[in-house]
Amino acid sequence: MLLLAHRGASADAPENTLEAFTEAVRQGADGVELDAMVCGSGEVVVCHDERLERLAGLPWEVRTTPWWKLRRADVGSSLGYAPARIPLLEDVLDALPAHFLVNIELKCDHFGDGGLAASVARLVAERDLSSRVVLSSFNPLCLFRLAAVAPTLRRGFLIDPDKAWAPQAYVVSPLVSSHSVHPFHEACTPERVSAWREAGLSVAAWTVDEAQRARELRELGVSYLITNRPGRLREALRERAPDAVGA
Spell out the residues 6+ positions from residue 157 whose beta carbon is closer than 8 angstroms to its own: 136, 137, 138, 140, 143, 168, 172, 173, 176, 177, 181, 182
Residue 166: which H helix or E strand, with range? helix 165-166
Q: Would you say residue 20 lies in a domain?
A: yes
Rounded Cα–Cα distance for residues 102 and 136 (Å): 11
How far apart CA 220 and CA 244 sit, in angstroms, is 19
Residue 187 lies in a domain: yes
Q: Rounded to two decimals, what is the model's pTM?
A: 0.95
Residue 134 falls within a domain, yes or no?
Answer: yes
Q: Say if 16 falls within a structural domain.
A: yes
Q: Amino acid letter at 99?
A: H
H or E element in which residue 156 lies:
strand 154-158
Alpha-carbon Rg of the chain, whole angstroms?
Answer: 17
The β-bridge relationship of strands 101-106 and 133-137 is parallel
Contact predicate 206/191, CB 8 Å: no
Total number of domains in the chain: 1
Q: Would residue 151 count as lying in a domain? A: yes
Exposed, middle or buried by CB within 10 Å (0-12, 13-18, 19+), for 241? exposed
Query: What does each of the 247 residues of the chain score in pLDDT, given as a tens digit?
Result: 999 999 999 999 999 999 999 999 999 999 999 999 999 999 999 999 999 999 999 999 999 999 999 999 999 999 999 999 999 999 999 999 999 999 999 999 888 899 999 999 999 999 999 999 999 999 999 999 999 999 999 999 999 999 999 999 999 999 999 999 999 999 999 999 999 999 999 999 999 999 999 999 999 999 999 999 999 999 999 986 454 444 4
Task: Answer whether residue 246 is part of any domain.
Answer: no
Phi, psi of 201 (to 5 degrees): -105, 140
Task: List the Cα angle 116/146/155 in 5-degree steps.
Answer: 115
| CA dihedral of 47, 91, 56, 31, whole degrees rounded to 10 | 50
CATH number, domain of 103, equals 3.20.20.190
Residue 56 lies in a domain: yes
Tens of pLDDT, residue by residue over 73-112, are 999 999 999 999 999 999 999 999 999 999 999 999 888 8
Identify whether 244 is part of a domain: no
Kindly report, residue by residue over 5-38, the tens digit of the pLDDT: 999 999 999 999 999 999 999 999 999 999 999 9
**Contacts of 47 by beta carbon, 8 Å cutoff, 6+ apart:** 16, 35, 37, 55, 62, 75, 86, 107
Q: Which domain holds residue 139?
A: 2-238
- Cα(218)–Cα(225) distance, integer angstroms: 9
Residue pair 8/230 in contact (Cβ under 8 Å)? The answer is: no
